[in-house]
Amino acid sequence: MEQKSDTKPPEIKLNCCQGRPAPAPVVEGWKQFIQLPEPARKDIWSLLGPVLFEPTNPANKQHIESFIKKHSLTEETLAGAIQSCVFLLRQASSLDMDASAFQQDLALLSGGEQQYAETIISQYDSAKANLRKILVQESLADHGKVLVGMDWRMDNVSASNRGAKLNTTVVLLTLKYRENNRIERTTLQLTPDAIKELKLFTDRFSR
């Protein structure tokens, strides 16, 4: 009777895992990535960008569905590949690894083949810069709200139930901030005096 072998596949130790073995789901997900059709692999950054930089954006679901349809994939196959790429990119970026060291890791996962890493490496440096900004924001958000953007609109208050001929310019300033991995918003109304005070504040820190 033929006996089944209990031998486990060799562990793959990666620089981006600080010399520890890559988690099994990451290894399996990378296998799914390299098995994608070549056009899908070459197009992977059209999906990786939104998922990496705006993971909570509801529009990502539509991006994924469009990618699956465009390249005739299954959701299961793509999910593992994307999760593996995201993990590896975030790990390498968090350690500020250079592209050559990261490429070595990807080659190890690919059985020594270099071509599968080329697409990921092609945009690694720019992705790392953006990811490290996000890591700073996330580190700060662990201890409170972090301002990440703003929108504004200018209005004129001509009259209200409190008075006529007010003729005051008001800026509606919507602050976008990160809290608990969510982007929240709050809107403030700034009078001309408040705008002057805000300008004094920003001028002090922009020198």
The model's pLDDT over 178-197, given as tens digits with 9 standing for 90+, comes to 887 778 899 999 999 999 99
- Tell me which of 88, 118, 141 is where a domain ends: 141
Structural domain span for residue 110: 15-141
Based on the number of CB atoms within 10 Å of its own CB, is 72 exposed (0-12), middle (13-18) or buried (19 or more)? exposed
Q: Which of 75, 55, 57, 56 is nearest to 65 (CA)?
A: 75
Whether the CB-CB separation of 129 and 120 falls below 8 Å is answered with no
Q: Report the share of the chain in percent with pLDDT over 90.
A: 62
Mean pLDDT of 94-112: 94
Domain co-membership, 25 together with 118: yes
- Tell me which of 105, 122, 141 is where a domain ends: 141
Domain co-membership, 129 together with 46: yes
Indicate whether 10 belongs to any domain.
Answer: no
pLDDT of res. 3: 54
pLDDT digits (tens, 9 = 90+) for 17-28: 999 999 999 999
Whether the CB-CB separation of 75 and 68 falls below 8 Å is answered with yes
Domain co-membership, 98 together with 168: no
Q: Which residues contact 40 (CB under 8 A, 6 or more apart)?
A: 67, 71, 73
Question: What six digits make up the tokens of 134?
Answer: 């996000």
pLDDT digits (tens, 9 = 90+) for 33-89: 999 999 999 999 999 999 998 887 889 999 999 999 999 999 988 999 999 999 999
Indicate whether 8 belongs to any domain.
Answer: no
Mean pLDDT of 109-136: 91
Domain co-membership, 151 together with 91: no
Indicate whether 194 belongs to any domain.
Answer: yes
Domain co-membership, 132 together with 30: yes
Domain co-membership, 51 together with 129: yes
C-alpha 169, offset from chain centre: 38
Domain co-membership, 76 together with 133: yes
Centre a 10 Å sphere on the Cβ of residue 11 and count the other Cβ atoms it contains: 11
Residue 196's SS3 state is helix
